[in-house]
Chain A
Amino acid sequence: MKKNDESKSIKIDETKYSMDTQIIYGKNISKKWDYSHHVTAPISSSTTFRLDSVERGAQGFQQFANTEQFGESSPIFIYDRLGEPNKDLLEENLAYVEKGEMALTFATGMGAISAVLGVLTSAGDEIICHNTLYGCTISLFDNWYPKYNIKVHYIDLTDTENIRELVNENTRVIYFESPANPNLDIIDIKSVAKLVAGLNSGREVNRKISVVIDNTFSTPFCQRPIELGADFVVHSLTKGIGGFGTDMGGAVIGKKKYKDLLLLYRKDFGAVLNPKSAWGILTYGLPSLSLRQRQQTNTAMRIADYLSGHPKVEYVNYPGLKSYKFYDIAKTQMIDFDGNFAPGSMIYFSLKGKTPAECKENGRKFMDYIAGSVYTMTLAVSLGHTRTLIEHPASMTHSVVPPEQLKDRGLDPGGVRLSIGLENPDDLLMDLEEALQNINS
C-alpha cells in the first residue's frame, strides 16, 4: 500500500453547482482544518490548543478578530471560546447557503440575536421592529434594552411606509421576522431594504441603519433575505437548520466587515456554540435541509388546505394559501433553491367559537386532546423538528406578553401554532381530523 502525506490541493469552483449540492460540500476543502481524508469531519473536543511557541501564541492573539489586517488565512486556534474547527466549518457552509459574506455561530438563537444587535447599537440608539416577534426577542427588548437605554419601537411593518413615521437620526436597526412568529405576518423584505437604502443615502457610515431579519421560520431553503437586500440574517439553528431537535445553536450571517466585531462580542459575552452541536448541524442538519424542508413544505400545504376548509376552523394563516392576505408578497420572496414558491412548514390557525373565550377554550381542548391521545403530533415548543409539534403561543412561546398586550403584538388568545414534521401527511390529516372531531362545540 502506497502512502501519500502530501495533501492534494483540489481547486473546484463550487458556485457552478446547485445549492442542494453545495449544502453538503460547502467549500469542499477547508483551510480551517485539514481533515480532508476523513470524509466526515471529526468532532473537535478540545477546550485548548497547543501553541508551538510564545511567538506563535502572540501571533494567534494578534490575528484573532483582526481579519482586516491579517486576512482569513489558516487560523491559529487558541481556545474554544475564541474559535475551533467545527464551528469554522459550519460557519463557512452557513454563509454559503444564506448567500452572506460571513457567518458566525452562537450557543443559541437568542445568543445570535443579542450579538448582532449588541454590535449594531449603543446607548441612545433606537430599533424599529415589527409588532409580532418571538416571545424571547420581545423579552430581550422589553426587559433588558431599557437598562441599556436602547429604545425599541413596535410598528406594523407589513406596511413598509410606517417606518418613515418613526425613523430618526438615532435609528440604527430595522428588525423583523418573516414569516413572523407565530402569526406568519409577511414583511416585504425588498421594499424594507429599498426604503432603508434611501434613508441611508445621506447618513454618515456610523449612523447608517441596518436591516436585520430572523429567517428561522423560512430557513435558507425557503428564503434568502440577503439576496433581497437585508444586511443581516439571524437563525436559531436549533430549528429547521439543525432539524433533528438534538442540539441548540444560533447564527448571524452578513457582511464581512462585521465579523471581527461579532467575534469579539462572542468572545467577551461568551455565547459560543458547543463543537459537538456544531458537528451535528454540519454533518446531518445542513446536508439534509433541502430534503426535509421540501417534504415539510409539501405536507404543510396539504394540511393548511385541509384546515382552511374545515367547519370547526375559524381562519388559517399560511403563506401558501391563496386566501391568505399576504399570499402575493410571500410568493415573490419565499423561493426555494430551484426557484419554486416555498411557503414553509409553519401554520397558524384558530378554532371557531361563539366568543373569543370559547375560541380559546376550543383550542385548549384540541391541543390537550393531541397531547393525550395522538401519535403523530406532540405538544411542545420549538419547531423545524422531524416530529410535528403543536403549541399555544399565548401561554407558551409568547407567555412574556401580558394578556392585555396580546392584540398589540398580533397574537390571538386562541391561536394555535403548528410546525410540520416529516410524518406521512395522510397520518397527520387522520390525527387532525380525530382531534377536531373531539371538540364538542
Chain B
Amino acid sequence: MGFSTDAIHAGQEPERATGALITPIFMTTTYAQEELGINKGYEYGRRDNLTRAALEKNIAVLENGKYGIAFSSGLAAISAVIHLVKAGEHVIVTDNVYGGTYRLFEKIMTGFNLQFSWVDVSSLENVSSAIKENTRMVYIETPSNPTLNITDIRSTAELCKKNNLICAVDNTFMSPYFQKPLNMNADIVVHSSTKYLNGHSDVIGGIVITNDKDTNKKLKFIQNAVGAVPSPFDCWLTLRSTKTLALRMKQHNENAVQIADFLKNQNYVKHVYYPGLKSHPGYELAKKQMTGFGGIISVDFGEEETARRFIKKCKIFTLAESLGGVESLMSHPATMSHASVPPERREKMGITNSLIRLSVGIEDIEDLLGDIDQAVQ
C-alpha cells in the first residue's frame, strides 16, 4: 500500500463491537478477568491498551517494520533502546546527538557502567576504528540535530552486521515519510513522536520500531517493566496526526527548501545548514537515502547580536523548544536543546552562539519569507 493509505488504515480496522470507524480511546486501567487465568489477552493497562496497540501497529507499518513499541516521550523510547545494552558494554554514538540523548547517556547511563564513545559517524572509518571488544550498539541520528550532518545508514548498518552490533537510528527529523532506516538494514528506529509524527505540538510521546522478534520481545518487556507508557488519549491524538503525515511533510519540505534557498543568498548569513542545498557536504548521500530534505534548517548568523535581533523581531517564528509542529518555531541550540553539552564540544559541533535552528511549519511560504525578511531589516 502507499504511504498515505497505510497512514490512514494500518492498525485502524473499525472497532469490532460497534463498527466505529475511528479507534475509541480505551480509557481503562484494568480488565475484568473471567476466571483465574482466563481473560481476553488483556490484563492491565500498563502492559496492554487497545488504542496504544493501534498506534504501535500504525507507525510500525509506516516505518516498514513489524513491531512498534510506544512510550511516554522520545527520551523514554531512547532509554528503552539503551536498556538493551548491559553494564560493561560499549556504545558508539554520533557526536552531535540531541542534547537530551547526550544527557541520558553521559549523566545517567554511565552510572550503570555503560561506556560511550562520541564519534563523528558521518565517516565510516571513525565508526570502524571506535569498535571495541565490548561494543554492543551504534546509535546514530541522521540528519543530526542541529547541524544536519548526514550519516550513511546502509553502510553503517552493514558494518554493524559484520561486527554483530545493534544499529539504532533516531529518525525523528525525517519521519518515515522521507526516510525508512529499516529498509537500509538498521535494526532499530526510534522517534520522538512529539515532533513530526504527532505534528501538532500537543502530545509528548516516543516510539521504537523493529523487525526483529527477539528485540521486540525485550522492548515490550522493558515497556511494561519500566512503565514509561503513553496515555490512551495521547495515542489517540497521535493516530489522528499520522493520517496527515504525508501532507504535512510535503509542505514542511517545500517551505524549507525555499527558505534555505533564500537564506543562503543573504549577506547577513554566515552559513546555512540544510541537506537540500547542493553546498551541503551530505547532499548526494541525502538524495540517496532520503526522499525529501525535511523541515529543519540551521542558520549561523556569524554575529551573536544578529541572531539575538532575529529572534526578537520574528513575528511568525516563535522562540520555543521542540520542532516538527505545524507552526514555525526557532530555537537557540547553544542555550536550549544543546545546553547540556559542554561548551568546547558544542563549539566543535558547530553549535555557536550565533546559530539558530528553524523548524519550518506549514504556513504560507510568502508569510514565512516575509517574516524572515522583516526580522533582519
Interface residues in chain A, defined as those with a beta carbon under 8 Å from any beta carbon in chain B: 1-5, 8, 33-52, 77, 84-85, 276, 279, 283
Contacts and interface: CB of A to CB of B under 8 A. Distances in A.
Contacts of B21: 46-50
Given A4-B38, A5-B40, A45-B22, A39 B32 contact: yes
B41 A3 contact: yes
B221 interface: no
Given A38-B31, A50-B19, A45 B38 contact: no
Contact of A43 (B14, B25, B41): B25
Nearest to B40: A37
Contacts of A47: 21-22
Nearest to B24: A42
B231 to A, nearest CB: 12
**Chain A: interface secondary structure?**
loop
For the complex of A and B, list the 9 residue pairs with the smallest distance between their C-beta atoms, beginning with the closest. A46-B20, A43-B25, A46-B22, A50-B14, A42-B24, A50-B19, A38-B28, A40-B28, A49-B19
B236 to A, nearest CB: 6
B37 interface: yes
7 contacts: A2-B37, A33-B18, A38-B26, A40-B27, A44-B24, A45-B22, A84-B20
B24 A39 contact: no
Contacts of A8: 34
Nearest to A34: B17
Contact of A45 (B19, B20, B30): B20
Nearest to A75: B18
A3 B22 CA distance: 26
B240 to A, nearest CB: 9
A2 B38 contact: yes
B45 to A, nearest CB: 9
Contacts of B41: 1, 3
Contacts of B42: 37
Given A42-B28, A283-B27, A37 B18 contact: no
Contact of B24 (A3, A36, A46): A46
A5 B39 CA distance: 8
Contacts of A38: 26, 28, 31-32
A77 B50 CA distance: 21
Contacts of A48: 21
A43 B17 CA distance: 13
Interface string B170-201: 00000000000000000000000000000000
A85 B35 CA distance: 27
A2 B23 CA distance: 26
B143 to A, nearest CB: 35
Contact of B18 (A4, A39, A84, A279): A84
Contacts of B23: 45-46
Nearest to B13: A50
